[in-house]
Structure 1
């Protein structure tokens, strides 16, 4: 429930940009910086919040982060000008990365070891449902009753989530007592760095294409502007399906599942360059793309947690920053390609190339893991 509210407040602003810009007397590009400010808040602010709360009992931290979410969205709803709205967005973003980071660790710790990735996937399902339900309905609500009404609705969701967390999350979930130096050492491990690199590359692959999906659909596929929303809704359904598929695959065999999913991602993006010219083949490919793409998210999150022994909460939070860094990098690379003369129809190749880089890193990580395991099994002096 909380992740649904957080996901909705993150993405719904894109659908409300014209309304916000008109109401506050700023340009749409300036209003668009509200998205950038939020992403930077997640990337650079959340880790400091995670460090500040590292010694606190976990349930209390989750409740505190939802309170921060409530305060931030309330300030968004009442912000009288653009500057205060930007501040409110950054405040809201601070809790985003820390909540998903800590929530992943808590969720994984509440279930049997063979269901850890599925538990993380269940939490992240709120994020995918936000794209399917929260953003369309939030946008419609804001267009009908004013953009501030959307943020008040998100505040109501946050209140329900706070009550649910207060009632159902077990008390006295102890924080792991590592020093800041020990956590820094854990974050410096090769496998942790490789795992976070995978998150950056997976997200960059997505946003290098998804950022420009509307002009791709309207100018190449021939989908009407009104029907783009329906295609994106179907893509969101694919994300939701992929989220649960990834949870099951990750609990089966984590790294092989990640490698196979990256291979599938490369293939589906290459296929999209051929199917993008016709409506129904394009729609089917985009749905499969959504399934494959989000099948990576929860396995990548749990991979970071597994490898960052001694600093799982901070590493998990930093991984949310890695995903957001990938968002920004992917959008920039896609824009750079278009500026250089790459056609909209060929943009999926950019995502495929980035996915190949992700595949290479995944294979490298797995090979190093297997070598370490074989070395540990080899008797002394053998």
Structure 2
């Protein structure tokens, strides 16, 4: 093992989670030395997969009323708000699929060559999204959304490790951010376009489009990502040791609780536009664009900031999430307030993921594969939690802005978990 392969320590993280010396930190992803042109083509191929994931995950929110009207017509005719809340279960089902699939696949396939695993995961995406587009009933589409989500966390985890290896140790967070950049750009281009497509040609056309994106991704990864043999020493037992570390759990709590504030708002943004801001369906894609632009900018800045200080980046991301979600609750009744606040919700949401991803890689030691995937389990627990609690608030009659106040509370709890994680660092540095 050379110093080149060693993951850098955050400037204000003195010791790893178990109190061992700093020089015992785990190795980061080994550098993949390839020509610059192929490196960037490979990263673009990985980011294209992130783009497809971003569309399939977020387009449901923009089409929620359309899906509810089609798959739950009886309830929608007498209680549109209740039908929209029930359709929100599609968001929760996807998030639960991520939570289940990420650690399971990452641990079970730890020895696989990463390129081969990426191709299998993308193939599952193709199948899951095509089923979402053609199955006839709400229950079956719910199952298809769960299936579509199973590869999500593992894909981002493995793709992030490959990108970090391609970029080198000094730019690992930027490598992660490039892959996640596909997801954020999806919120600028893919999700609004998918929403427009679904509103005008039926919501199923959006999932058909996503299936095609993943088919193209499969070919792109096959042609550009370098093949490296799997790690014969990797075992499920070693990967699962990540769950024995307190700092892993605290970092997961930051993402799963704090990030729930974003999805408490974003899941129900379409009915907020139509029922609170009093704009037509055609305005929803523009709100999604504002969110996506913010997410893209936040993700890009976070890659740069996280390479300098993981902790500082985390503090900015979680605090900013709480403040921006509160601003949404207070101002979304006006067009200007809606657009500005949703931009900042997206910006701080985009800033959280690279920092949480890098923090997990630091505190997980040799369980790098599962740690990289767990980030997306955590964020999608937040997705599930935010969507569910937001739906409860709406169903209870508190209105479409009530989920935003729920989101403020979730962000505050996430910040408490972050402070607890930092306190553990300080205690162990003094021990």
Please, what TM-score do these two structures have when normalized by structure 2? 0.77
Unmatched 5+ residue regions in structure 1?
376-382
Cα distance in 2 for residues equivalent to 1:249 and 1:113: 15
Per-residue CA deviation, residues 159-193 of structure 1 (Å, 9 max, x unaligned), is 22112212221211533734333322222201100
Cα distance in 1 for residues equivalent to 2:334 and 2:67: 35
User: What is the match of residue 365 of structure 1?
Assistant: 421
Per-residue CA deviation, residues 108-149 of structure 1 (Å, 9 max, x unaligned), is 222222211111111111112222221222233344444444
Shift of 1:199: 0.7
User: What is the match of residue 284 of structure 1?
Assistant: 340
Deviating more after overlay: 325-334 vs 218-227:
218-227
Contact between 1:141 and 1:147, CA under 8 Å: does it hold in 2?
A: yes
Cα distance in 2 for residues equivalent to 1:20 and 1:277: 24
Cα distance in 2 for residues equivalent to 1:80 and 1:344: 29
2:94 aligned residue (38, 47, 63)? 38
2:259 is paired with a residue whose SS is helix
Contact between 2:133 and 2:204, CA under 8 Å: does it hold in 1?
A: yes
1:91 and 2:147 aligned: yes
Shift of 1:8: 1.4
Cα distance in 1 for residues equivalent to 2:109 and 2:232: 11
Cα distance in 2 for residues equivalent to 1:131 and 1:288: 14
Q: State the Cα RMSD in Å.
A: 3.0
1:312 and 2:368 aligned: yes
Contact between 1:187 and 1:311, CA under 8 Å: does it hold in 2?
A: no
Shift of 1:201: 1.8
Distance 1:248 1:228, change over 3 A: same
Contact between 2:191 and 2:288, CA under 8 Å: does it hold in 1?
A: no
Unmatched 5+ residue regions in structure 2?
1-47, 77-82
Distance 1:117 1:338, change over 3 A: same
User: What is the match of residue 323 of structure 1?
Assistant: 379
User: What is the match of residue 166 of structure 1?
Assistant: 222
Contact between 2:107 and 2:239, CA under 8 Å: does it hold in 1?
A: no
1:115 aligned residue (171, 190, 198)? 171
1:6 and 2:62 aligned: no
Cα distance in 2 for residues equivalent to 1:147 and 1:8: 13
1:134 aligned residue (190, 195, 199)? 190
1:237 and 2:293 aligned: yes
Distance 1:91 1:211, change over 3 A: closer
Q: How does 1:1-382 map to 2 (within 5 A)?
A: 1-16=48-63, 29=83, 33-79=89-135, 84-175=140-231, 177-218=233-274, 220-221=276-277, 223=279, 225-276=281-332, 278-337=334-393, 348-375=404-431
Cα distance in 2 for residues equivalent to 1:336 and 1:24: 20
Please state which structure has a larger fraction of its residues in helix.
1
Deviating more after overlay: 173-182 vs 360-369:
173-182
Contact between 2:65 and 2:271, CA under 8 Å: does it hold in 1?
A: no
Aligned residues between the structures:
375
User: What is the match of residue 380 of structure 1?
Assistant: none
Shift of 1:243: 1.0
Shift of 1:274: 4.4
Cα distance in 2 for residues equivalent to 1:24 and 1:66: 27
Distance 1:221 1:83, change over 3 A: closer
Per-residue CA deviation, residues 3-36 of structure 1 (Å, 9 max, x unaligned), is 1112212333444556666777866647654433
Cα distance in 2 for residues equivalent to 1:343 and 1:253: 39
Deviating more after overlay: 17-26 vs 171-180:
17-26
Contact between 1:97 and 1:320, CA under 8 Å: does it hold in 2?
A: yes
Cα distance in 2 for residues equivalent to 1:362 and 1:286: 24
Shift of 1:230: 1.9
Shift of 1:81: 5.5
Shift of 1:196: 0.5
